Amino acid sequence: IVESVGEGVTDVKPGDHVFPIFTGECKECRHCKSEESNMCDLLRINTDRGVMLNDGQSRFSINGQPIFHFVGTSTFSEYTVLHVGCLAKINEEAPLDKVCVLSCGISTGLGATLNVAKPKKGSTVAIFGLGAVGLAAAEGARIAGASRIIGVDLNPKRFDEARKFGVTEFVNPKDYNKPVQEVIAEMTGGGVDRSVECTGSIMAMMSAFECVHD
């Protein structure tokens, strides 16, 4: 909850409910104005910065020694100071003890599917990895109207939960003695229309690329 704001800040006011975001948005650079990227030139994640941008100083100290800002947010503390571009205002009716656990996984997966992959209604989509990001990606595919959403994960215990997010079929690569992309190509008559990789594994990235039809 915003306690106070600095001079010139107009986007938020004291009492507003907000999310802190370590990849912020200045709203002016080419990335912020793009529909396909949020890697802001000014506020993209920078683990080495540790200070406020306008004066290069930290807002925290202990016994006269500065404490630096962690990825621009310092959310492990009860009170923090952020650049206004690293805050997103949310509906005040949303319960804070619920929205905090959504973290970045929901916006990442949902946004990657709806804003970047943009599956058409009736299309087929493969989702690699059914953790928080993958479930949100599946939800995005469901919202977009995909007819088949194929979830790929090494942990079959995730499958039941994934059905609630729109996944219609499941593939566990451990169950086959051939590359998972070949399995998906056979299931779909040559490959899916879109795939979204949500694990960070280079092998999964290759499979996700190769399971898309020509």
pLDDT band at 98 (very low <50, low <70, confident <90, very high): confident
What pLDDT does residue 21 have?
Answer: 87
Joined tokens for residue 132: 């928080």
Asked if 43 contacts 86 with a C-beta cutoff of 8 angstroms, the reply is yes
Asked if 184 contacts 211 with a C-beta cutoff of 8 angstroms, the reply is yes
Radius of gyration, alpha carbons of the chain:
21
- Whether the pLDDT of residue 204 is over 90: the answer is yes
pLDDT digits (tens, 9 = 90+) for 6-17: 999 999 999 999
CATH 3.40.50.720 domain locations along the chain:
106-211
All residues at 6 or more sequence positions from 152 whose CB lies less than 8 Å from its CB, including other chains: 126, 127, 128, 129, 130, 170, 171, 172, 173, 180, 184, 204, 207
Q: For domain 106-211, give the CATH superfamily.
A: NAD(P)-binding Rossmann-like Domain (3.40.50.720)
What pLDDT does residue 39 have?
Answer: 87
Average pLDDT over residues 185-209: 96
Q: Which residue has the tokens 């999310």?
A: 19
SS3 assignment, position 123:
coil
Rounded distance between C-alpha atoms, residue 103 and residue 21, angstroms: 9
CATH 3.90.180.10 domain locations along the chain:
1-100
Q: For domain 1-100, give the CATH superfamily.
A: Medium-chain alcohol dehydrogenases, catalytic domain (3.90.180.10)
Average pLDDT over residues 116-141: 97
Cα first-last separation, the chain: 49
Nearest to 116 by CA among 153, 141, 133: 141
Rounded distance between C-alpha atoms, residue 1 and residue 145, angstroms: 36
Q: What is the DSSP letter of 78?
A: S
pLDDT digits (tens, 9 = 90+) for 169-189: 999 999 999 999 999 999 999
All residues at 6 or more sequence positions from 114 whose CB lies less than 8 Å from its CB, including other chains: 140, 143, 144
pLDDT digits (tens, 9 = 90+) for 2-61: 999 999 999 999 999 998 988 899 999 999 998 777 789 999 888 888 999 889 999 999
